[in-house]
């Protein structure tokens, strides 16, 4: 199977605080891989480091088997797009204009869109169902609509790999599923490789082919939902006592309910 | 949508062009020595020229208008760049201390080379040509200091930026003041007037000294104007799109420091133009920088010609420094922006 990211002995962090040391992982191409873990476990840091938003201290990251160090940032931009947790843009900006920004790495003449540019923008709006408010300003959109517009901008970048940092935060339940359904469609119909960070382990289990569970800068478990969403792993990773059921419909494990571990309570 | 912005852009350009013409007309015909339009036209077209008119127009008023246009354009463009790359609508070369840095360097230059701006003649043209270079060094030092103090965890902290600007402003201001107090009387007067921001000693040498800076850097920045649209996004988005954020930030900053320094070395520190012009431009043509930038340049030019006209005529035959007139207009506008930004 082709490999999207190969991470070798990665050391990274902010300023002087090292978040993880000697991290190794292989993320497959054409699959949805979700990183889960408690706050501060380094899941966002890992996503930002492989997305070259954060500079790594040491180690190697291979993007489609090419060392990222040897690729220019513009070449990388044609292979992967990153959507941050809370992206910002001027509120007067029109939806279609924002999405057209996604074409930047492909544009030669910055003042005119080519036919291909327009096709990709239309496609991105179509997939994310944002075509109907293409002429609205960002300020006029709801949270869910805005998130889909941002996703459309990332899609307009025409990359095979998408990195999404908590794409469902601040959204209500229906809008969360709406976004995740688009992500799934992108993977199934268009063969996109998705690497994302999610907080909700049930969403992670339902939508991902592979899960990476992290705690304190270490990967505790990396595998299918059935391998990762288990009582033992959740106990290790989240320090919770979880009740796991099996959802017949999705054929995926579901964390039905949970409690804080007994010895954790006394430690608090 | 795109067509609508373009229409707004064309209309704004035409009206501002007319405004600049009207202001220039007022400027060139009014003053201690009043002239009629016909006199001005005749002199410019070299019909029945007379020495007095030639002197007033070619030596006094015309270079002054040209300098006002150049400085206004420079500050208008620099303001757009600084507000864009810092993502702060209150950024301005004056507030950030770049004016003060360039100013201090020019005062040092005046101090050691005894360049008197008031009675500059052709013999000192080489020194005058060098002033923008000195200004550039001073402005760059100020910009480097601002970045060194305001940069935290690799991004510019906006509150620190403004605070650093204030302290750099007063630091360099004090340095300029100290040096000018050490000068002899005549140099001091020249330096003090210059520091307040003035173009009344404008002459063609100044025009030649700053024109290359304005042309080269102005075109360079205009070619990069589209990047400022992307600076309206956050840095994760920019990096994701394959933009070298830090590299672009630094080159744009240096280019605008160069522009500001060229302006400061001929006109002294004129604040607020770089703050006001981009705001008015955005209100006229929206947020696309390929439109905002030229409009801001035109507004800068118009504001400065009008202010200079007021400075020259309001207490005639005495003169106010144009920097003071600009401040009188600018301070209320700045306060209005502060209130508006808060909402």
Q: How far apart are CA B170 and CA A101, in angstroms?
A: 40
Contact A92 B237 (CB under 8 A): no
3-state secondary structure (DSSP) of residue A219 = strand
Contact B232 A93 (CB under 8 A): yes
Q: Which of A76, A92, A135 sits opposite B286 (nearest CB)?
A: A92
Q: Give CB contacts under 8 A, 24+ apart, made by B184-190.
A: B186/B116, B187/B110, B187/B111, B187/B114, B187/B116, B189/B118, B190/B110, B190/B116, B190/B117, B190/B118
pLDDT above 70: residue B1: no
Q: Does B240 touch chain A (CB under 8 A)?
A: yes
- Residue B121 confidence (pLDDT): 56
Q: Are strands A32-36 and A193-197 parallel, antiparallel or unpaired?
A: parallel
Angle at A26 (CA atoms; ends A22, A32), nearest 5 degrees: 130
Chain B hits for A81, CB-CB cut-off 8 Å, are: 240
Chain A hits for B240, CB-CB cut-off 8 Å, are: 51, 53, 77, 80-84, 154, 157
- Residue B189 confidence (pLDDT): 77
3-state secondary structure (DSSP) of residue A142 = coil
Out of 3.20.20.140, 2.10.10.90, 3.40.50.300, 3.40.47.10, the CATH code matching A1-79+159-226 is 3.40.50.300
Domain range summary for chain B, segments of one domain joined by + = 11-21+51-342
Q: How far apart are CA B55 and CA B47, in angstroms?
A: 15
Let me know if B188 is exposed, middle or buried by CB neighbors in 10 A (0-12, 13-18, 19+): middle
Q: How far apart are CA A173 and CA A176, in angstroms?
A: 5
- Residue A21 confidence (pLDDT): 85
Q: Which of B55-64, B110-119, B241-250 has the highest mean pLDDT?
A: B241-250
Work out the pLDDT band at B338, boundaries 50, 70, 90.
confident
- Residue A259 confidence (pLDDT): 86
Work out the pLDDT band at B304, boundaries 50, 70, 90.
very high
Average predicted confidence (pLDDT) for chain B: 84
- Residue A6 confidence (pLDDT): 94
Q: Is the dihedral of CA B323, B324, B328, B334 positive or negative?
A: positive
Work out the pLDDT band at A266, boundaries 50, 70, 90.
low
Percent of chain B with pLDDT over 70: 93
User: Which CATH number is B11-21+51-342 given?
Assistant: 1.10.3470.10
CA neighbours within 13 Å on the CB side: how many for B16? Answer: 27
pLDDT above 90: residue B329: no
A with B: how many residue pairs have Cβ under 8 Å apart? 72
φ/ψ of residue B307, rounded to 5: -60, -40
Q: Give CB contacts under 8 A, 24+ apart, made by A256-264.
A: A258/A234, A261/A235, A264/A239
Chain A hits for B233, CB-CB cut-off 8 Å, are: 87-89, 101
3-state secondary structure (DSSP) of residue B114 = coil
Cis amide linkage into residue B317, ω under 30° from 0 = yes
Let me know if A231 is exposed, middle or buried by CB neighbors in 10 A (0-12, 13-18, 19+): middle
Work out the pLDDT band at A108, boundaries 50, 70, 90.
confident
Q: Which residue has the higher pLDDT, B315 or A34?
A: A34
Give the model confidence (pLDDT) of A6-15 as tens digits.
999 999 888 7
Q: How far apart are CA B272 and CA B92, in angstroms?
A: 7
Q: Which of A15, A72, A89 sits opposite B232 (nearest CB)?
A: A89
CB burial string B121-158: b at 16+ within 10 A, e below: eeebbebbbebbbbbbbbbbbbbebbeebbeeeeebee
Contact A84 B233 (CB under 8 A): no
- Residue A69 confidence (pLDDT): 92
CB burial string B248-265: b at 16+ within 10 A, e below: bbebbbbbbbbbbbbbbb
Q: What is the DSSP string of B24-36?
A: HHHHHH-SSS---
Residues in chain A: 268
pLDDT-wise least confident of A29-33, B227-231, B240-244, B317-321? B317-321
Work out the pLDDT band at B153, boundaries 50, 70, 90.
low
- Residue B115 confidence (pLDDT): 59
Which of residues 128 through 187 in chain B touch A, CB cutoff 8 A? 153
φ/ψ of residue A19, rounded to 5: -90, -45
Q: How far apart are CA A42 and CA A214, in angstroms?
A: 7
Query: What number is the average pLDDT over the span B99-116?
Result: 80
Give the model confidence (pLDDT) of A57-74 as tens digits.
889 999 999 999 999 999
Distances (CA, A) of B268 to A52, B108, B200: 43, 13, 11
Q: What is the DSSP letter of A90?
A: -
């Amino acid at each position: 199977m082709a490999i999207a990211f190969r991470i070798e002995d990665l050391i990274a962090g902010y300023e002087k605080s090292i978040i993880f040391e000697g991290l190794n992982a292989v993320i497959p191409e054409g699959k949805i891989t979700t990183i889960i873990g408690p706050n501060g476990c380094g899941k966002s840091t890992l996503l930002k480091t492989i997305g070259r938003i954060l500079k790594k201290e040491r180690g190697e990251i291979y993007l489609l088997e090419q060392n990222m160090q040897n690729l220019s940032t513009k070449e990388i931009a044609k292979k992967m797009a990153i959507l941050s947790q809370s992206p910002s843009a001027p509120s007067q900006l029109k939806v279609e204009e924002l999405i057209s920004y996604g074409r930047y790495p492909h544009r030669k003449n910055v003042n005119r869109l080519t036919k291909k540019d327009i096709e990709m923008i239309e496609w991105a709006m179509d997939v994310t169902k944002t075509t109907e408010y293409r002429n609205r300003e960002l300020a006029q959109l709801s949270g869910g609509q805005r998130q889909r517009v941002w996703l459309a901008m990332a899609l307009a970048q025409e990359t095979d790999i998408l990195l999404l940092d908590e794409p469902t935060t601040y959204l209500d339940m229906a809008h969360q599923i709406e976004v995740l359904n688009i992500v799934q469609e992108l993977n199934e119909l268009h063969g996109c490789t998705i690497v994302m960070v999610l907080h909700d382990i049930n969403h992670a289990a339902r939508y991902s082919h592979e899960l990476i569970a992290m705690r304190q800068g270490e990967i505790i478990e990396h595998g299918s939902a059935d391998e990762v969403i288990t009582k033992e792993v959740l106990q290790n990773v989240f320090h919770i006592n979880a009740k796991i059921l099996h959802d017949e419909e999705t054929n995926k494990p579901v964390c039905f309910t949970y409690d804080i571990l007994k010895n954790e309570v006394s430690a608090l | 949508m795109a067509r609508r912005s373009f229409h707004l852009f064309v209309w704004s350009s035409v009206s501002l062009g007319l405004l600049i013409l009207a202001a220039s007309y007022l400027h060139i015909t009014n003053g201690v020595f009043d002239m009629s339009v016909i006199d001005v036209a005749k002199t410019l077209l070299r019909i029945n020229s007379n020495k007095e008119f030639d002197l007033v127009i070619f030596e006094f008023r015309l270079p002054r208008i040209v300098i006002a246009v150049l400085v206004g354009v420079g500050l208008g463009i620099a303001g757009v760049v600084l507000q864009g790359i810092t993502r702060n609508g209150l950024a301005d070369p004056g507030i950030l201390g770049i004016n003060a840095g360039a100013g201090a360097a020019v005062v040092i230059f005046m101090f050691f080379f005894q360049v008197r701006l008031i009675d500059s003649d052709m013999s000192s043209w080489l020194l005058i040509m060098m002033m923008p270079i000195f200004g550039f060094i001073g402005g760059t030092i100020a910009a480097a200091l601002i970045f060194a103090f305001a940069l935290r965890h690799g991004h510019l902290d906006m509150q620190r930026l403004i605070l650093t600007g204030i302290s750099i402003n007063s630091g360099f201001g004090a340095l300029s003041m100290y040096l000018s107090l050490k000068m002899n009387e005549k140099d001091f007067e020249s330096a003090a007037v210059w520091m307040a921001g003035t173009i009344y000693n404008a002459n063609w040498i100044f025009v030649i000294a700053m024109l290359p800076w304005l042309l080269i850097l102005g075109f360079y920045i205009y070619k990069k104007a589209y990047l400022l649209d992307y600076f309206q996004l956050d840095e994760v988005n920019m990096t994701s799109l394959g933009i070298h954020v830090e590299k672009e930030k630094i080159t744009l900053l240096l280019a605008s420091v160069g522009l500001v320094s060229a302006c400061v070395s001929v006109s002294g520190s004129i604040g607020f133009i770089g703050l006001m012009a981009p705001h008015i431009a955005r209100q006229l043509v929206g947020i696309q920088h390929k439109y905002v930038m030229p409009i801001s340049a035109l507004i800068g030019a118009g504001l400065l010609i009008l202010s200079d006209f007021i400075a020259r005529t309001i207490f005639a035959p005495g003169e106010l420094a144009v920097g003071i007139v600009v401040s009188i207009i600018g301070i209320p506008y700045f306060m209005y922006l502060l209130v508006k930004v808060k909402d």
